Amino acid sequence: MVNVKINGIAVSVPEEYTVLQAAKQAGIDIPTLCYLKDINEIGACRMCLVEIKGGKALQTACVYPVSEGMEVFTNTPKVRAARKVVLELILSNHEKKCLSCVRSTNCELQRLAEELGVDATRFEGETQQQTIDDFSPSIVRDNNKCILCRRCVSVCKNVQTVGVIDVQERGFATHVGCSYDKSLAGTSCAMCGQCIAACPVGALREKDSTDIVWEALADESKHVVVQTAPAVRVALGEEFGMPIGTRVTGKMVAALKMLGFDRTFDTNTGADVTIMEEGTEFIDRFTNGGKLPLITSCSPGWVKFCEHNFPDFLDNLSTAKSPHEMFGALIKSYYAEKQGIDPKDIFVVSVMPCTAKKFEAQRDELAATGYPDVDAVLTTRELARMIKEAGIKFTELKDEEFDAPFGEATGAATIFGTTGGVMEAALRTVSEVLTGKSFDQVEYTAVRGTEDIKEASLEIAGKTVNIAVAHGLGNARKVLESVRSGEKKYDFIEIMGCPGGCVTGGGQPIKSAKTWADVDVKAVRAKALYDEDESLTIRKSHENPVVKKLYAEYLGEPCGTKAHQLLHTHYHAR
């Protein structure tokens, strides 16, 4: 520990702390822009400049280390003037169309301008005009709004280890882009959207699908069905000022019905079916000498990453579709037959915490009925924008329930939204099928938590099952490289493309760098899902009466002929 003073306040902090961390402990806020805890700590933007007693130059608080007896000043005239000039220089080459920007009122640059009293810019010179890259089905890059903070570069390269974007050129020509200035669509981008979540401004956003959904809702010839992923219910409320992790399942359903959807279903039902298919597939491989490890395939960002980087593992991927695609296929087959509706007249909308789902919905492989399983994907943010546009007072809504015949889902499906949740849901079913027994204890705590990689060995029906759980593509890379080298041997692996899983997917409400520094967002949202799981009567996918009826009346056996036709797919090297 070392003793320092920040604006005259004495604090004792660990010697590895930076001035920024020490100031936070002293209750003092230092403005930042390029800083993103544990992801981007490079001192590039110069917004966090402070004055050190005895020093001649101002220093960047986010990277400057503390030392014994150091005295720091964060609010001197020199510091305030420097920060103001830095901010004005950033704004001088920034497209200031704030009112029409998707990040208006949730923009860190906008907030800093307000806090520092910068309401105009003194530096009016040449500005760059960049072409907007909107060729990707998932992500739009608008470099006219980029402030070169490099947060997107860092998360793509260092966290996700995809590395398709970097800083190009030098000086005034500096910009963020892909090699040879390709579009994101022409690269090995996983479409995960973590770059969007990291961006402090509106330089990155999801490809908007609200217009085509509004159009479908207004088309009287279309029967428009919406389904919502488990992670959406613990994040949507944040877009309306509610605390992080607030469960808004009932309000969300009410809002969707007010928007005009003909049926509102829960993707959790699709997740229960996924467990039936994926669990059966694992049992078959595990007991009959099939290809192991079986790797989950419900995260489209992870699947695309695998296709590009680990094609030798494609045979290890579960052939089960992701829950929303599986559910879409069932809506356009089973549900269509039950309701007497031609599948061509059904328009399926998935509300997802994920930008990669937009890419996934366009896959040619995912059209079991001859029509796309899912017609449009909205992120959590896009749904919030539609609710606001419709003038719905979200926080005042009374809870409503999902519609029949898919109105019931289990706790196992709910926890799909967090890292370890798919594995735990699968184990709840696999353990009972393999042993032929029913267990009251359904929690598998070994796969819970936010550690980068979790490992466990479980005894099931007299056999040892070695499992691993990884979240974030960088951790996925580590796991697969350890398997490839022979260092590790697993039977079952769960991989989520985004750090924390779907709860912190690329389509979830965006949090500022200060919020990420103060709150473990992924843990708070995950807890909300576990709480919902515990509150439900049925917590095992194979006990869902809706799922039982579906197999008895329509699908037959899990992984049977009809189930395989509708609910399974294949992948290919890219």
Residues with catalytic roles: 278, 281, 298, 318, 357, 360, 365, 502
DSSP 305: H
Give the whole-angstrom CA distance, residue 388 versus residue 393. 8
Farthest-apart Cα atoms in the chain, separation: 81
Q: What is the DSSP letter of 242?
A: P
For residue 449, the one-letter residue type is G
Residue partners of 148: CB distance under 8 A and separation at least 6: 44, 167, 174, 175, 176
> Which amino acid would we find at residue 145?
K
Coil, strand or helix at 167: strand
**266 token code pair:** 């829960």
Compute the distance between CA of residue 32 and CA of residue 109 in angstroms, rounded to an integer. Answer: 9
Both tokens of 330, joined, read 């069932």
- Determine which helix (DSSP H) or strand (DSSP E) holds 168, and give its type and residue range: strand 166-168
Amino acid 13 reads V
Helix (H, G, I), strand (E, B) or coil at 338: helix
CA-to-CA separations, 473 to 35, 71, 157, 452, in angstroms, rounded: 22, 41, 10, 10
Cα(145)–Cα(204) distance, integer angstroms: 9
Residue 484 CA to residue 116 CA, distance in Å, equals: 52
CA distance 293 to 467: 9
The helix (H) or strand (E) run that includes residue 1 is: none
Write out the DSSP string of 121-151.
-S-------PPPB--SSSEEE-GGG-----H
| SS3 (DSSP) at 55 | coil
Start-to-end Cα distance in the chain = 51
Q: Could you tell me how far CA 167 lies from the centroid of its own chain?
A: 24
C-alpha to C-alpha distance for 409 and 406, rounded to whole angstroms: 8
- The answer to whether the CB of 39 falls within 8 A of the CB of 46 is no
DSSP 458-512: EEETTEEEEEEEEESHHHHHHHHHHHHTTS---SEEEEESSTTSGGG-TTSPP--
Specify the residue for token string 């290890």: 316
